[in-house]
Structure 1
Amino acid sequence: MRFLRVVFTAILATFLLGLGAVCAAAAVAAQWGRTSLAFDVLTHFAPFWLAGALVATLAGLALRGPVRVAIVGLGLVGTFAAGALIAPELVRHTGPHAAPGAPGQLKIVQFNAWHNNADLERTIDWLAREAPDIVVIEETTPAIRALIAAKTNWYVTCPKCEVMILSRRPPVADGVAFLGHRSGPLSRATFRDARGEFTVLGVHNAWPTDPDQPMQERRLAAAVARFPRERTIVTGDFNSTPWSFSRRRWDRALGLVRRERALFSWPAVQYKRLRWTGFPYLAIDHVYAGSGWATVSVRRGPKLGSDHYPVVVILAPVAPR
């Protein structure tokens, strides 16, 4: 028994030492994401580095001797470095808030429907039951466009685009912009309510490893600048997490307030090559709104055959003073 205990301890110590070293190294290297897009890719997985470092720290306390000091030391380095990436998201301002009964509410659904979605009927049925005022939907296909036309009476902005904006009221203006073959679409629709006009922009950005993403962010910032920021709303699949330095920089550049906080939206399905992923671990679907909007609620929707969860946000005009 003593021999087995020694072997088990050695295996555990080796595993924890490796776990602590990997998480500490990744979390520390991610700090260079402030100036390097290559290192910034590591920031998107900050929750993993934090969880692994915490496991190494707590489990390492059960060991003895120099190996305990090494494991706990690496775990603490990883915990503080990863925590420094995540903490700003947890304490940032998410804009003004309004009570559930606030007048003039606007319900928005942001959803990447996924081109491989095999449950389109349930997807459209859920959207119909939610009865949102506006839906921004990405990765549309001819099949989902046909279902939307057959089963709903929504107004559709850019009906053949990869990013579509659906609405219960007709827009007063709309448009779409493309920059390059792989840049991804940027759709917009302008509506009018009791307070005047407001513009909704829908976007689907490339992965952070794709050189197109910074260009897409610059394009979006330029598009937002064309409209009165106070009432502008931007939502979509940004493929960018809130603990990345690039996301924080573009948050500032947009001049709007991101209304969800650390809302994990991907993946909603298990991939063949990633069978262990039964839970969402990337927060990449975002909703922004100008200072003229107050947040009533933000929630994640159900699994709907897509690899993304939908995001449901209710906004209300800020009460005049």
Structure 2
Amino acid sequence: MRSLRLFFTSVMALVALACAGWGLAAQGGRWSVRLDILTHFAPMLLALSLLPAIYGLLFERRGARWLLAGLSGVAIAASALLIAPEYLRPASSPAPEGAPGQIKLIQFNAWERNDRPGESIQWLKAQNPDILVVEEASLIAPALKRAFRGYHVSCGDCSVIILSKARPVTRDVPVPPSADELPPPIAGATFRDNHGEFSVFGTHYAWPIYGGWQQAQGRLIAGLLNRFPKERLILVGDFNSTPWSFSRRREDTLFALERRTRALFSWPAERGPAGMGLPFALLPIDHVYAGPGWRTVRAERGPRLGSDHYPVIVTLAPSS
């Protein structure tokens, strides 16, 4: 029994040490895009960091308990430092449910391997959105256009597509400033309502594992956004980065827009073989940004469909 407890204590100490090392290394994401990859897993790291502390409290005493508590404490603190700013950041004044001039916008990565496109389209149609932005839309686009007959279609290369009830004033996406890296797929449209014109852009970033590419795409998007009035500008998409990454925080500032999704976990949503997928999402990587000319009525996640992403539904109302 003693040797078994020693084994479990050693395993818990290694877990705590690994979590502490991971959490401290992730702080280096401030300066390194490669270390910034570690930040995306902060919630999972936090949950794992609690195990050695709980084990030590329940089964150990004296020195071993303090060792496990100390290592876990470092790991918990490092993880919390990454996550806390997302929940503590100030939010704009919410709009009441009955605010006039509301628009309902849905952002959805349809996924190229969507095994239930019909179910996805049926749900999207039932939501009756004013604006629908779909990424990885190439395969689902024909059926989507048929289902949304009467909507106006705007697309860049049609990997990203925007469908809208209102007819766009323009559908052009100005070419972003030149850079060494290829820009992400982009679609855009400008609309006019009683408050004037506003533009909507949808995009889909690369994964963060390709060192520096995602950050270069962010700079390109920022350059594009700077060509438009920010007051009522809207940007949505699958950014493949979480709010606790330093890259996402830098872009929050760079875009000069407010991110209306707060820790809204959207991936993965895939049911997996025989429906054995995870019962919950692990990463919030789908985001909606809007300028100060919009107030948020609500921001919520849709149901699990045939994609590996959950849809994101944001309802906005004009600020005045």
TM-score range, shorter chain: over 0.9
**Superposed counterparts of 1:99-110, under 5 Å:** 99-110=96-107
- Contact 1:269 1:278 (8 Å CA) reproduced: no
For residue 276 of structure 1, report the CA deviation from its aligned partner: 7.0
Taking structure 2 as the reference length, the TM-score comes to 0.93
Aligned to 2:224: 223
TM-fit CA distance, 1:278: 3.7
Aligned to 2:189: 189
How far residue 158 of structure 1 moved from its aligned partner, in angstroms, is 1.7
TM (norm. structure 1) is 0.93
- CA deviation string 1:125-182 (max 9, x = no partner): 101100010011000123x111112222221102751000111111110124587885
Q: Give the one of 70, 73, 98 matched to 1:76.
A: 73
Q: Distance in 1 between matches of 2:86 and 2:278?
A: 23
Give the partner amino acid of 2:264.
L
Aligned residue number for residue 138 of structure 1: 135
**Matches of 1:43 and 1:160, distance apart in 2:** 31
Residues 157, 186 of structure 2: 8 Å contact kept: no
Taking the TM superposition and a 5 Å limit, the aligned residue runs for 1:46-61 are: 46-61=42-57
Query: Hey, what does 2:234 align to over in structure 1?
Result: 233
Q: CA RMSD in A?
A: 1.8
Query: Would the alpha carbon gap of residues 199 and 140 (structure 1) be closer, same or farther in structure 2, given more than 3 Å must change?
Result: same
**Counterpart amino acid of residue 111 in structure 1:** F
Structure 2 Cα separation of the partners of residues 289 and 124 of structure 1: 25
Cα distance in structure 1, aligned partners of 2:102 and 2:264: 22
2:20–2:75 contact (8 Å) kept in structure 1: yes
1:19 aligned to 2:40?
no
Instruction: Return the alpha-carbon distance in structure 2 between the equivalents of residues 140 and 134 of structure 1.
Output: 15
Maintained 8 Å contact 1:190/1:198: yes
Contact 2:183 2:220 in 1 (8 A): no
Return the offset for 1:30: 0.5
Q: Which amino acid aligns with 1:98?
A: A
Give the SS at the match of 1:240.
coil
CA displacement, residues 250-278 of structure 1 (integer Å, 9 cap, x when unaligned): 10000000011111100001557xx7744
Q: Matches of 1:205 and 1:131 in 2, distance apart?
A: 27
- 1:208 maps to a residue whose letter is P
Alpha-carbon separation, structure 2, partners of 1:248 and 1:159 = 27
CA deviations 1:232-255 (Å, max 9, x no partner) are 000000001000111101100000
CA distance in 2, matches of 1:197, 1:159: 20
- Name 1:198's counterpart in structure 2: 198
Distance 1:46 1:88 in 2: 12
Contact preservation (8 Å) 1:94, 1:261? no
Please name the residue that 1:281 is paired with: 282
Distance, in Å, in 2 between the alignment partners of 1:130 and 1:34 is 40
Distance 1:247 1:181 in 2: 18
1:166 aligns with 2:163: yes
Cα-to-partner distance string for 1:296-317 (whole Å, 9 max, x where unaligned): 0011000111000000000000
Separation (CA, whole Å) in 2 of partners of 1:8 and 1:296: 55
Match of 2:97, as an amino acid? P
Residue of structure 2 equivalent to 1:291: 292
Q: Is the 8 A contact 2:157 2:187 kept in 1?
A: no
* Identity across matched positions, percent: 46
The aligned counterpart of 1:29 is: 25
Give the C-alpha shift of residue 53 in structure 1.
Answer: 1.1
- Amino acid corresponding to residue 248 of structure 1 in structure 2: R
The CA distance in 1 between the partners of 2:7 and 2:293, in whole Å, is: 57
Shift, 1:33, TM fit: 0.7
Aligned-residue offset at 1:54: 1.7
1:65 corresponds to which of 62, 65, 82: 62
1:44 matched to 2:40? The reply is yes
Which deviates the most, 94-103 or 170-179? 170-179
Structure 2 vs 1, CA of residues 276 and 194 (structure 1 numbering), >3 Å: closer, same or farther?
Answer: closer
Contact 2:181 2:216 (C-alpha < 8 Å) held by counterparts: no
- Whole-angstrom distance in 2 between the partners of 1:278 and 1:288: 27
8 Å contact kept, 1:157–1:164: yes
1:247 match: secondary structure: helix
Does residue 1:10 correspond to 2:24, yes or no?
no
1:88 to 85, 89, 94: 85
- The 2-side partners of 1:14 and 1:174 are apart by 61
Number of the residue aligned with 1:301? 302
Aligned residues: 312
Contact 2:181 2:213 in 1 (8 A): no
